[in-house]
Amino acid sequence: MPTEQSLALSELFFSLQGESTYAGLPCVFIRLAGCNLRCRYCDARYTYEEIGGNKSLSEIIAFVDLYPEAIVEITGGEPMLQENVIPLMQRLVDQKRTVLLETNGSIDLSSVPDGVTIIIDVKCPDSGMAHANRLENLTTLNKSAEIKFVLCSRKDYDWAVACAKAHNLIDCRNGRALRPVLFSPVSGYLPPAELAAWILQDKLAVRLQLQLHKILWPESDRGV
Ligand code: SF4
């Protein structure tokens, strides 16, 4: 008898979505274990420093079913490292759930099922992981995808602007981006007001994104 597909899980919890155009909405988080990168500012080291527990797709979906009105975010670590994330996303989409996939963008995303909103966290130079970006992903994304640049410095900002323009993500002529482009300052590295001033000065059609969970729950480093 075949065993059921499973995933190595870091945590499963219910909170508020914090870092996309869905920010503020109640959300079930499926945080998978393991990551292929080591960003300098990583606040989820436990996803790769601790051994995750395995759960079957049915067990994960049973937890999601406890919150029928919530959106669902699959995150990590890097969720695309585990092939069984694909059937999990497909089952959730088939159940008509709103599904977000937050990924570091270093892995080919062409197998992500239609109906999933991809949020790519493009790695800027000060993350120390910019070499790992698979920028081809930016040219094949569907319309619902969101591109997030997590910024530590002015150097990161300049790099992000150049990258967004090179991939035609920002259409300044019409005063709005072709798709949501999020500029998110790393807490403790880049003051949000400084980033706001740069965006206004450059009249950029990007969204300033604050890390909502760090504002709401500054003392909590997991489960939020
Ligand atoms: S990709 Fe995300 S989880 Fe992985 S090291 Fe970077 S910040 Fe941490």
> Is pLDDT of 2 > 60?
no
Which pLDDT band, with edges at 50, 70 and 90, does 127 fall under? very high
The reported pLDDT for the residue numbered 159 is 98
> Is pLDDT of 222 > 60?
yes
CB 162 within 8 A of CB 132: no
Ligand 1 in contact with 184 (CB < 6 A)?
A: no
C-alpha of residue 1 to centroid of ligand 1, in Å: 37
The reported pLDDT for the residue numbered 37 is 98
Which pLDDT band, with edges at 50, 70 and 90, does 172 fall under? low
The reported pLDDT for the residue numbered 175 is 58
The lowest-confidence range among 131-135, 163-167, 174-178, 202-206 is: 174-178
CA of 77, closest atom in ligand 1: 3
Task: List strands edge to edge, sheet with 116-122.
Answer: 53-56, 6-16, 26-32, 71-75, 99-103, 116-122, 146-151, 181-185, 207-208
Its pTM stands at 0.94
Q: At residue 120, what is the residue type?
A: I
CB 178 within 8 A of CB 220: no
The structure tokens 């790992």 sit at 132
- Domains of the chain plus CATH, in order, are 6-216 (3.20.20.70)
C-alpha of residue 129 to centroid of ligand 1, in Å: 9
C-alpha of residue 171 to centroid of ligand 1, in Å: 29
Helix (H, G, I), strand (E, B) or coil at 11: strand
Which pLDDT band, with edges at 50, 70 and 90, does 217 fall under? confident
